[in-house]
Structure 1
Amino acid sequence: MTRTEHLEATRILQHLFNASSFVGIDFGSGPNHHLLYFKRDGNESWLSIEGPWYVHSSGPSFNEDEQLHHLVGLRRERVRSVRLTEDNPNLELTFESGSVLFVNGYHEQYESWQAGDARPLGGEHFLLVAMPQGDLAVFAEDDV
């Protein structure tokens, strides 16, 4: 991902998630597949996670049941900041409590995560996809 692509993707992710509240979750077919919903001022966004993820909070736990408990505990909490790493599209959402949702952006063969602004899955104005081997696809109708 070029520096310009990274900056554009970061601006879009900030637009989608900063100051939004985590409002719901749907569970996918596999242990790492979850669809998270966010809302701010009547606007909705979503994050589909298909790869490894975890919530950094008070204790370092990587047990799936405990991680889901931490994630559900973030319900209705607002996102304070969004970070996209430059080397691979790893995504970090930091919440008001200081908890951080980390989503791995690299997989050899599969998409790790997707984010957008239309339900169910899709992007009305924005769609980002963490592609296999660390690439990031950005689809944007207008500049943020």
Structure 2
Amino acid sequence: MDKGEKTDALKVLNFLCIGAKIEGLNFYGLRLLLSESETNSNRINGQIYINIESQFCLFNSLPKSIPLTNELPNMDLIESLKILCELRLKQIVDVSLHDKSPHLFLTFETGEVLFIWGHDDKYESWQVGVIKTSIDDEDWDIVACPNNGLAIWGPEDIVGNI
């Protein structure tokens, strides 16, 4: 992940996530459903989501260092869903990415931090985007790609010309 990718991804992540609340879960895989916020409600036409396809954990506050994968809990689907359900209606107040790998940090109004592991050699680790209601709606997607890459789609006025 280079500095430009991180910058562009954070522009889209901030627009989609800051001020949003966790309003649901999709039980096919781990997909958090986010509300619109005051900032994006006039522009987003669809459902904002976060797909979690890697290990994650919930910290009481921002950790001082990135945990190693063997330090993250190895949870089954039920355990994972219980943790994510605890985030119900909590508002996201900050979003950040690690400098080298696209590890995702979502900080909530409570101070809690959802950490999503962002590195895999073969698979995507997470995605944040909008499920559009029409083919004519704007594209909004950030994907943590294999080997620390990011793929970013967003309107030019938010991310510039990618």
Please give the TM-score of this superposition, normalised by the length of structure 1.
0.83
- Structure 1 CA distance, aligned partners of 2:84 and 2:15? 21
Specify which structure has the higher proportion of strand: 1
Matches within 5 A, 1:97-136: 97-119=110-132, 124-136=138-150
- Quickly say closer, same or farther: Cα 1:111–1:63, change in 2 above 3 A: closer
Match of 1:38 in 2: 34
Cα deviations across residues 38-78 of structure 1 (Å, max 9, x unaligned)?
Answer: 012444411111111111138x9836355532321110110
- Structure 2 CA distance, aligned partners of 1:87 and 1:61? 19
CA-based RMSD = 2.5
Higher relative contact order (CA 8 A, sep 6+): 2
Give the letter aligned to residue 24 of structure 1: G
Match of 1:53 in 2: 56
- Structure 1 CA distance, aligned partners of 2:83 and 2:52? 16
Give the letter aligned to residue 34 of structure 2: F
SS of structure 1 residue aligned to 2:58 = strand
Match of 1:74 in 2: 87
Aligned length: 138
Match of 1:19 in 2: 19
Match of 2:3 in 1: 3
Contact 1:106 1:112 in 2 (8 A): yes
Larger radius of gyration: 2
- Quickly say closer, same or farther: Cα 1:72–1:119, change in 2 above 3 A: farther
SS of structure 1 residue aligned to 2:118 = coil
- The correspondence for 1:62, drawn from 62, 65, 73, is 73
Identity across matched positions, percent: 31
Contact 1:116 1:124 in 2 (8 A): no
Give the letter aligned to residue 11 of structure 2: R
- Structure 2 CA distance, aligned partners of 1:7 and 1:24? 28
SS of structure 2 residue aligned to 1:136 = strand
SS of structure 2 residue aligned to 1:46 = strand
> How far is the alpha carbon of 1:98 from its aligned partner?
1.1
Moved more, 35-44 or 80-89: 35-44
